[in-house]
Structure 1
Amino acid sequence: MWGFPVRGVGKQRLLNGFQEERDRFDPIHSAAFALAAVLSCRRRQCSACPRPVHPRSGCPSSGRMKWTSDRAAVRLWPQSLRTAPLPLTLIPWSSMALLLVLWLLFPQSLTRLMYLPLLVSTVLLGIPHGALDHLIPTRLGWRWGQRLGAVALYIAAYALLAALTLGLWWLLPRAAFWGFVLLSCLHWGHGDLHYLETVQGRRRWLGRWSAAVTLLARGSLPILVPLLAFPEWFGRLASGVAQAFGQAEATLTVTAPLLSPTVFTGLAVAVGVILLAYVADTVRSSRVPMTELAETGLLLLTFLVVPAPLSIGIYFTLWHAWRHLGRLLGLQPVAARPLVRLGRDLLPISLIALALLGGLYLWAAPQVDNLETFAALYLALIAALTLPHALLVAVMDVKRSPG
């Protein structure tokens, strides 16, 4: 492994050498390559063989110049919060902090806007953040992703899994609801774990145990903490989905508590133990423990105080979805060209998802009699799209794991 500083004429020559190669790449990687040219020139592993590859001259055996995954580009970022991409930190933090302050100052005004963040997420970041899933296998260079037949089969399986999940909401809304709660906890925790490790340089002091505790803790904050703080809203949510799908479980969910006292106590104890274990692990695993703990404290306080529709809606849009799109853009400040191309790639599937939501509403319109029920119907569609999306993101990280 070697490198050399880039200065003066050498810097411009290296940038020119990278320009042609950058143009061949999709927006996920192109801007990261520009940063690589400015910062340093390093050997990376070839995507076709285990030999090291120079990013300018290519692999001596296969001739390939493509890196194996987005982790190669991510590792070029200095592992410190000071040098992390500012928007990926500033926007999530400021949005949650501003929400907390505004709720403490103007609770009556925000009550009228309770479902606004969830509704806005239909077009802003929420649905679009998964709208590139059909292109991910090809963009990341997976072998089967280069074959049209395999990609078509993958898209069909993706759509079938989403349709089956939506059907489960119709057949067994209570089971689908709890499955969605568990899936959201794992998927959102996984997203934060990826960010902490690749951007903030978080290590694994206890190996996989550290990763598991971090995933569960960060996933519990936006899902299980609001569930414990506002169980009545989750009960109305489950009731609203059942009502929208015309199930008799709607009245049962309204009259009976969502969590029995025993289950509520057990869940509260489990979440507390997980958070304490996460704090202890963060002290040893994190490179910026005070920053990570401050972020955790902000999330915990917000989800305990702000009603669930507001806090979860803001988190989904401006925390989870925002950072996932940042991951697709290579986790760096991007120029206009990659952004425009990414927006163009996201548009078709986003429009299809919005059309599905419209069709679902027309089908369930007789049962959807208020905004809360419509929000429940929208979350059912999100749940259907989340399962294949979460599986894809998990596979992305498995393929990126070293060794």
Structure 2
Amino acid sequence: MIQNKVVFIQCIFGLLAILINFLFPEFVEDFRYYLLGIAILLTGMPHGAIDHIISFELNDHSQTIKNNLQFYGSYLGLIIIYSLLWIYFPMFSFISFMLITLYHFGQADAMRFDLEPFWRWAIHLSRGITVVGLILFANPDYTSPVIESVTGISIAQVVTGFLSISVLKTGLALCYPVMFIITSLFQYHRFSDFTTALLDAAVVSLLFFYCDTIWAFSIYFGIWHAFNHIRVMIRFMRLKGTKAGWIWFYKKSFLYSFLSYLGIALLYFILDAFGSEELLVFLLFIAISVMTLPHMLIVEKMYGMFGKSIAGPEAEAH
């Protein structure tokens, strides 16, 4: 099946990324930010750049001036409000972003399984916990100073007051694979290809467990999360009667992707003058976070209305 072939190819990329990290750690350290840039350029920004089209289709609205003003007003309003929260309540904003990301990442991967609601939620949350948890704690010597530079709190010091980083890291890495195995014991007949899905669970955990944080995030964000979301959006647009494909998608997403690239480039050149890598990285994630919130709400509505027909096994028929 097409879905399982794609997942298998993603796992191959993940295993290659792990191998490169082991064999050429200096190359990974030098190239990781370029890889992050490539991931954002090719799939990261584009996957959120047709939210306006998705929203109009979900609400059966035409793109009149009134409807455009309503959409962009609410969309930009959320971005502005969340940006202000980052300024005045950085710790609250950081925690909320982690929860949003946990939910959003887990949802994108859980929806492809035709599971009963309880077990889908178990997969949803455990996948998100593994990915987001390992982003934070797989390499705390790197992530903790970045977070502390904005929030003023060292997450490494907070956590080590309760348990060791190695124990936490291992527990986070096992969370999703173990939950996947438990789920399969009760829902095995609902997995179209158990072996590929299990490989996916293992590779995602190993990727974040063993690899440089930025390197692992770039691979996962570009090849798993954003790529899969683009495929789901294309299926949704086809379901709504549009002759959508990858060329169609990149044409429609180009303008807003380009504007986002200009914003990130401006941010980079401003911060590069101050020579602060930690601040640059964290502000990049803040930029991602304020755009993720309205994007997530639109995606949530899309999955709520058309979940199985665009993300599950049935979607492969389209």
- TM-score, normalised to structure 1, is 0.66
Q: Which has the higher helix share?
A: 2
Is 1:389 equivalent to 2:306 in the alignment? no
Q: Deviations over 1:174-201 (max 9, x none)?
A: 222222222111101000012x22xxxx
Q: Distance in 2 between matches of 1:109 and 1:364?
A: 24
- Quick one: percent identity of the two aligned structures? 20
Residues 130, 205 of structure 2: 8 Å contact kept: yes
- 1:4-403 matches, within 5 Å, as 82-84=1-3, 86=5, 88-138=6-56, 140=57, 142-144=59-61, 148-194=65-111, 196-197=112-113, 202-204=114-116, 208-240=117-149, 242=150, 249-250=151-152, 253=154, 257=157, 259-262=159-162, 271=172, 272=174, 275-285=177-187, 286-330=191-235, 338-361=245-268, 368-400=274-306
Q: Distance in 1 between matches of 2:176 and 2:41?
A: 34
Residues 79, 291 of structure 2: 8 Å contact kept: yes
- Secondary structure at 2:260 match in 1: helix
Report the Cα offset of residue 83 of structure 1: 3.9
Residues 129, 324 of structure 1: 8 Å contact kept: yes
Residues 118, 375 of structure 1: 8 Å contact kept: no
Residues 144, 151 of structure 1: 8 Å contact kept: no
- Secondary structure at 2:159 match in 1: coil
Report the Cα offset of residue 218 of structure 1: 1.6
Q: 1:307 to 1:141 in 2, by over 3 A?
A: closer
Q: Deviations over 1:279-322 (max 9, x none)?
A: 21123322322221111011111111002111011110111111
Aligned letter for 1:374?
Answer: L
Whose RCO is larger (CA < 8 A, sep 6+)?
Answer: 2
Q: Which runs of no fewer than 5 residues in structure 1 stay unpaired?
A: 1-81, 243-248
Aligned letter for 2:253?
Answer: L
Report the Cα offset of residue 364 of structure 1: 5.4
Aligned letter for 2:250?
Answer: G
Report the Cα offset of residue 365 of structure 1: 6.1
Q: Which runs of no fewer than 5 residues in structure 2 stay unpaired?
A: 237-242, 309-318
Q: 2:314: which partner in 1?
A: none
Q: 1:216 to 1:113 in 2, by over 3 A?
A: same
Q: 2:315: which partner in 1?
A: none
Report the Cα offset of residue 145 of structure 1: 5.5
Report the Cα offset of residue 173 of structure 1: 2.2
Larger Rg: 1
Q: How many residues align?
A: 297
